[in-house]
Amino acid sequence: MNRIAYLFSATLLLVACSGEPASLPEGEVADPPPVGEATEATRAANAALAERLPLEDQGDFEDAAQGLLAQIDGDAIYAEDGSVIWPIAEYDTVTGAAPDTVNPSLWRQAQLTNMHGLFEVTDGIYQIRGYDLAVMSVIRGETGWIIVDPLLSSETSAAALKLVNDTLGARPVTGVIYTHSHADHFGGVRGVISEADIEARGIPVLAPIGFSESAVAENLLAGNHMSRRAALMFGNTLPHGPTGQVSIGLGPGLSAGTIGLIAPTEEISGRGTRRVIDGIVFEFVDAAGTEAPAEFMFYLPQFDALCTAEVATATFHNALTPRGAKVRDLLAWSEAIDHVLVEYGDADVVFASHHWPTWGEANVASFLRGQRDIYRYTHDQALRRANAGGTAVEIAEDIEEPGVQGEHFDTRGYYGTLNHNTKAVYQFYFGWWDGVPANYHAHPPVERARRFVAAMGGVDAVIAEGRRAFEEGDYRWAADVLNQAVFAEPENAAARDWLAASYEQMGFQAESGAWRAYFLTGAQELRNGVPDVGDIQTGSRDFIQGVPTVDLFDAMAVRFAPEKLGREPFLLVFEFTDTGETIALDVGPAVTMPRLGAPEEEAAATLTLSRTAFNDLILRARTFQQLMAAGEVSLAGDPTALMAWFGALETPPFWFNVVEP
């Protein structure tokens, strides 16, 4: 046995006997346990959960397998250049008993979410599951296919539609529905339809009221930050397997293809609003402000089928997603589910934008009631404790798991959790601050960490305390303490390694796929550094061309760095020849304010071009000089004003630090 191994074995023995970490020669720190192995504390925690849940229940597996018609041949879905968009074979490895390194309840959910293929929901309604984070539903109209939620990537949605046509017979797409404003439900639209086809054949593209505004807000206004954190939340850089990514809980994972956007032809409001698409009657139910700022559910009378979008799925969802978003209203969420329970709870089948359907009137009502109850319970019990003086963290520790979570797997925290959702309820009503004066203007993380480390007697003492907590199986405290060491001394290898080990065990224990991915990716970045996989485009051409022009300028305005302007305020005008739009930019000393329409005052410069050429410009596909040379742009007025504004726009880095300073 080498010296380090001997010291580590001695450490474990001493902790077992005395609860204190073994002392080491000055300047030496014991190595953490081997990467990728579950500790005894993790194995015990996972075994305890398995003991109290009926994991052997096969009901969900029977539902998830019901109606399988066909599967995509091959081990992956590929892009035109041969790169892997969706690794089918890697998800097929989640079989057998749960390994020590995966929460057994999450392993069960992974086996369910990874089941893939074309499934019949009922005669005339089909779903393609297991080839992206979301599910694409297909409804047979009188003449063609009505596509509901065309996945995240055009490559996966095209493969899904091909599977449908190959299995059921080729039909044209006669309608598209986006149930809500998250990219995994509209990003693949160009894999099933084009703008030209929509215009030529008058194809309706329906979305909930507020869809366009919400889609832009999440994907452009705040897209860079959300996308960076989403890389941790979805485990994009983790390997697939028992020590890495196995499932997000909401679905297997994210596809790696091309994300686009085609603007809806109509945004639907109200509850009970009817539209007929290719002979099929839809009754839409507005659910704005629940799982997404813009969302609807719908009922299909001809099929006696209810689609609950992402409002009710086979998991407890997020009130505040780890990637960051606007806090969601769990009261409104529970009320929306209660509405469809009352109006459509006797439907023959309920299906959603994730997971598998539920059949039978009694089962449909039970599913909807359980979903309603978990959101209402979390809302009411969080507020009950807050009104008694509890803070967000205190409430999260105090609230008890309700009985419905022990009885209905679909209410368990495979994505959202009771812990962080109660904190989100607190934030929804009271904001980020817990009311404690010391927390209102505390030092920022690095300065706080340096003071924390100094007060504890230096970084070696902090690491020793973190080791002690780790060896006792208290990984939460170990992570808290060791995080201070990392923020105080980012290059300290021992602090990074022990913090990574703490995150890894927390990930191995997590029932939430999002928690698991976040912790394990955090551990990976501490060990290997921030990934160097090139720049990430948070706004692709396929997406940008579907964004309303004024919204695009709003997205550019949040990149405006006023300190880089260096001149007096001025007005810019952009005239778009192909859309007939005019945008005026009021460029001031602190803000850029876009306005739709021609201004009354004189502009410093007016740029005339097509919207397509402008897209090239902001995507850096072509330079201003190239557009001028091609005769696709004309400029009147002061060109330095235009250059000053463009020069003041920042392009933020994508791979910024998250788990370290």
The distance in angstroms from the start CA to the end CA of the chain is 37
Q: Could you tell me if residue 450 is inside a domain?
A: yes
Strands (E), 302-398: 305-307, 349-351, 358-359
**238 and 323 fall within a common domain:** yes
- Say if residue 213 is in the same domain as residue 146: yes
Helix axes 418-430, 361-387, angle to 10 degrees: 60
Same domain, 23 and 146: no
Statement to judge: residues 257 and 352 lie in one domain? yes
426 and 450, same domain (yes or no)? no
3-state secondary structure of 331: helix
The pLDDT score that the predictor gives to residue 566 is: 85
Angle of helix 40-52 versus helix 104-113 axis, rounded to 10? 70
CATH code of 457's domain? 1.25.40.880
The last residue of a domain, from among 509, 540, 559 = 509
Where does a domain end: 390, 405, 430?
430
100 and 230 fall within a common domain: yes
Residue 575 sits in the same domain as residue 502: no
If asked whether residues 409 and 467 sit together in one domain, one would say no
Q: How many domains does the chain have?
A: 3
What percent of the chain stands above pLDDT 70?
Answer: 95
Dist CA 28 CA 25 (whole Å): 6
Chain centroid to CA 236: 11
Structure tokens at 358: 């539920």
Q: Evaluate whether residue 163 is within a structural domain.
A: yes
Q: Are residues 624 and 504 in the same domain?
A: no
* CATH code (residue 373): 3.60.15.30
What span, in angstroms and rounded, lies between the C-alpha atoms of 243 and 218?
31
Sequence-separated (6 or more) residues with CB below 8 Å from residue 416: 315, 316, 317, 318, 319, 321, 512, 514
Residues 448, 407, single domain; the answer is no
- Partners of 586 in the β-ladder: 571, 593
Sheet arrangement for strand 633-637: 592-596, 582-587, 570-576, 605-609, 633-637
Of 189, 188, 254, the C-alpha closest to 226 is 254
Low-confidence ranges of the chain (pLDDT < 70): 1-28, 533-539
21 vs 478, 495, 605, CA distance in Å? 13, 15, 69
Query: In this structure, is the dihedral angle defined by the CA atoms of residues 500, 506, 509 and 510, taken in order, positive or negative?
Result: negative
What CATH number is associated with residue 587? Answer: 3.30.1050.10
pLDDT at 217: 75
Residue 5 confidence (pLDDT):
30
Q: Which domain range does residue 469 map to?
A: 3-46+443-509
End position of a domain, from candidates 430, 458, 488: 430
What pLDDT does 115 receive?
Answer: 97
Predicted pLDDT of residue 63 = 97
Six token digits for residue 254 = 């994210």
Residues 71 and 32 in one domain: no
Q: What is the pLDDT of residues 471-508, one digit of tens each?
A: 999 999 999 999 999 999 999 999 999 999 999 999 99
Q: Are residues 283 and 323 in the same domain?
A: yes
